[in-house]
Chains A and B, each alone.
Chain A
Amino acid sequence: MIELDGVSRLFDGVPAVEGMSLRIERGEICVIVGTSGCGKSTTLKLLNRLLACSSGTIRIDGQDIAELDAERLRRRMGYAIQHTGLFPHWTVARNIGVVPRLLEWPAPRIEARVRELLELFGLPYASFADKFPSQLSGGQAQRVGVARALAGDPEILLMDEPFGALDPITRESLQNELLRIQARIHKTIVFVTHDLDEALKLASRIVVMDRGRIVQHDTPSRLLEQPANAFVENLFGQGERGLKRASLQRVGACMLPLQGAAPAVSVGAEDSLRQALSLMLWHRTGELCVRDAEGRALGVLPIGAVLQGPRA
């Protein structure tokens, strides 16, 4: 659990972060969003003390981080950044092993950990361990960057726009991978992005920042439904809000029991309502058949059910 209590940070007397109080629960993905220069990256660097607080305290599991040794603190936290910051003179395996090495793990344990992480990110050890960062594609390099952040088995993972420089398709597959891996490892993740769809997709809760202050801290659906002010409403795309909310809702939660013949066009139960709507528009139909991953028909999704949203 991370607690920020009245945290401010000034640069030459100008506040970048001001009076920030926030509680991030263990195991959640907290995404900080906002326009450039709103203080979201600064907040992240305050958490691992790459920057010091000008005032206020940050506590992790009740302990004031200002009292801890900064380097040890950082080794307990994973850190992944936009341009990966992989060490160009080291192989992938050595890059991932940085923190375990700093923690003075025995060599066999480091190797086993590197192997495990590479497999977790779908990068076969045999073909990737000895590559240099310059030999990786953007998506592979970023996977290695995140694997490196996880290597020391940290309780907390800090991610500063880690997928920002990737093309949309790679970005989406890495987002899915992050969610898949998080479902297994349950880390506390603080994730900074300016991509609102990414925020809505990944977050347990979203912190919206503007000019160094928290504007709203809420779950994705509540942010869409009850924006705190015009800034948040604007940020989450006014006219597009309905579609954005639909992309958070799963077809499986809205479908009705199947009666009679299954409709011709099918949608996956795990797909979003947004995808379902798109299919309806494309095929000019008001009814979809809902199927599971194996293709079994589970139910039916009429357009009325889409408009109604998930049933409680």
Chain B
Amino acid sequence: MRSPHAASNRVVLSLVALAVALLLLGDFASVQANRIAPGRGLGLFVALGPAWALAVLGALLTLAGLALRPSPARYRGMLALILLLLIQLPASLGWFIQLHIGADQPQARAGLASGCWSLLFLSLLLLIEVRQRVPAPWWWLGPGGLLLVTALLIQGGELAALALLREYASRSAAFWQALRGHLGLVGGTLGCSLLLGLALTGLIIRLPRLQRPVFGVLNFFQTIPSLALFGLLLAPLSYLAAHSPLLQSLNVRGIGWAPALLALVAYSLLPVVRNSCVALQEVAEEVLESARGMGMSRWQLFSQVRLPLALPVILEGLRITSIQAIGLTAVAALIGANGFGSFIFQGLGQGAMDLVLLGALPTIALALLADALFSGLARYFQPGGRR
């Protein structure tokens, strides 16, 4: 008799099957003689040599074996294997570079191919799946170890031949400038939309009949495609800048940071205002009545009761806004706003995928960081969440 507990975990089995198939059928990594030469893709066994390749496949198959008849102990074993798979990934790239790119080839570069990427993402999906099955507070060792090993290998120069790092090395100054530009635009957007959004919220709460028209306008902004909005702002801003020395001195032009900021704020207002309004209006009536009945002044009522109770939802609005702004700032590179978008569009223009990645990966990382930051803040301010 088989207990229902022993039923095989089909999610793990399918993910492992997919990983094995992609590793065997696709290229694991590629070698380019120089930046413009076409890359030569290498399969898993050629790229890492038979020993390492068999170890990776062996780990995956063991994982599948454990998933056939899972138990808590086996889930812990699966988790350990997934952590190993994640941590060996940067090391395998270092090994790949050592095998295929000699010191006599300073122009050669290594690229990541489909096998490497799919191993990374499928391992992360496996981690998410297995983590739900068994309580293991050490699950973060996987992604943490991955980052740590990567950092150590970069520090030691083992990964210097990686195309991504070669691209970075040749424009590190531009990279940090792009980071500053990106953060500046996102920060400016958050600040402006917070100030403006809270002002609009206050107005709506005071004068409820403004709610419909205000949301109508904000919804309308949201429906305009971002590129179209940048384009629409070009003419009026150029005109204003041409006729105002003050604006000229601030470097406001039809292109650049000014239209980008305006468009980003226009997009950000809807989530900020909608969340703030809902949050402030939904504070329970009896809580407000008892606060008034206790003798709180209007300001005390707002600062001690309404605002703290609404804060988690307001922060949720800021979270949406920040992620949206981080993504749109990349697009704003098209109108000359400084940010990681410029790498993406340059890379697309030159057919250099590694340059695209140099812009895309930090953009994704920023979005994930913003998400974690605001979710964490919202949890911290959750009623009853502070202990």
Contacts and interface: CB of A to CB of B under 8 A. Distances in A.
Interface of A: 48, 50, 70-75, 79, 81-89, 98-99, 102, 130, 132-135, 145, 148, 158
Contacts of A133: 384
Contacts of B383: 88-89, 132, 134
A75 B305 contact: no
A85 B308 contact: no
Interface string B368-386: 0000000000000001100
Interface stretch (B62-70, B220-228, B295-303): B295-303
B289 A81 contact: yes
B310 to A, nearest CB: 10
Identify which of A84, A98, A99, A158 gathers the most chain B CB atoms within 10 Å of its CB.
A98
A72 B296 CA distance: 9
B295 A81 contact: no
Given A50-B292, A82-B286, A87-B291, A134 B297 contact: no
Contacts of A98: 294, 296
Contacts of B305: 87
Given A132-B383, A132-B384, A134-B384, A85 B286 contact: yes
A50 B295 CA distance: 10
Interface residues of B, number: 20
A130 B289 CA distance: 24
A99 B287 contact: no
Contact of B293 (A74, A86, A130): A74
B47 to A, nearest CB: 55
A88 to B, nearest CB: 4
B3 interface: no
B309 interface: yes
30 contacts: A50-B289, A70-B295, A73-B295, A74-B294, A74-B295, A75-B295, A79-B293, A81-B286, A81-B290, A81-B293, A83-B286, A84-B290, A85-B286, A85-B288, A85-B291, A87-B309, A88-B287, A88-B309, A98-B296, A99-B295, A102-B294, A102-B295, A102-B296, A102-B300, A132-B383, A133-B384, A134-B383, A134-B384, A135-B384, A145-B290
The 3 closest A-B pairs by CB, nearest first: A85-B290, A74-B295, A79-B293
B308 A79 contact: no
Interface string B85-123: 000000000000000000000000000000000000000
Contacts of A99: 294-295
A198 B187 CA distance: 59
A79 B287 CA distance: 12
B286 A50 contact: no
A50 B289 CA distance: 8
A3 B289 CA distance: 24
Given A50-B289, A85-B293, A87-B287, 5 more contacts: A50-B292, A81-B293, A88-B287, A89-B308, A89-B384
Contacts of B284: 83, 85
A22 to B, nearest CB: 20
A158 B384 CA distance: 28
Contacts of A86: 287, 290
A85 B287 contact: yes
Interface of B is mostly: helix
B368 to A, nearest CB: 29
Contacts of B294: 74-75, 79, 98-99, 102, 148
A72 B295 contact: yes
Contacts of B309: 87-89
B384 A88 contact: yes
Among A73, A86, A87, the one with the most B-chain Cβ atoms within 10 Å of its Cβ is A87
A130 B386 CA distance: 11
Contacts of A145: 290
A158 B292 CA distance: 13
B83 to A, nearest CB: 37
A133 to B, nearest CB: 8
Contacts of A130: 387
A108 B288 CA distance: 27
Contact of A84 (B286, B291, B292): B286
Nearest to B283: A88
Nearest to B298: A71
Contacts of B290: 79, 81, 84-86, 145
Contact of A85 (B289, B295, B300, B384): B289
A148 to B, nearest CB: 8
A158 B293 CA distance: 10
A284 B192 CA distance: 82
Contact of A48 (B287, B293, B387): B293
Interface in B52-94: none
Given A89-B308, A132-B383, A71 B289 contact: no
A17 B252 CA distance: 63
Contacts of A87: 287, 291, 305, 309
A98 B297 CA distance: 12
Contact of B296 (A71, A88, A89, A135): A71
Contacts of A135: 384
A240 B294 CA distance: 39
A200 to B, nearest CB: 26
Contacts of A148: 294
A121 to B, nearest CB: 17
Contacts of B291: 85, 87
Contacts of A79: 290, 293-294
Contacts of A48: 293
A135 B385 CA distance: 12
Chain A CB within 10 Å — which of B288, B292, B296 has the most? B292
A101 to B, nearest CB: 9
A267 to B, nearest CB: 41
Contacts of A85: 284, 286-291, 293
B293 A50 contact: yes
Nearest to B386: A89
A133 B286 CA distance: 14
Nearest to A88: B383
Contacts of B384: 88-89, 132-135
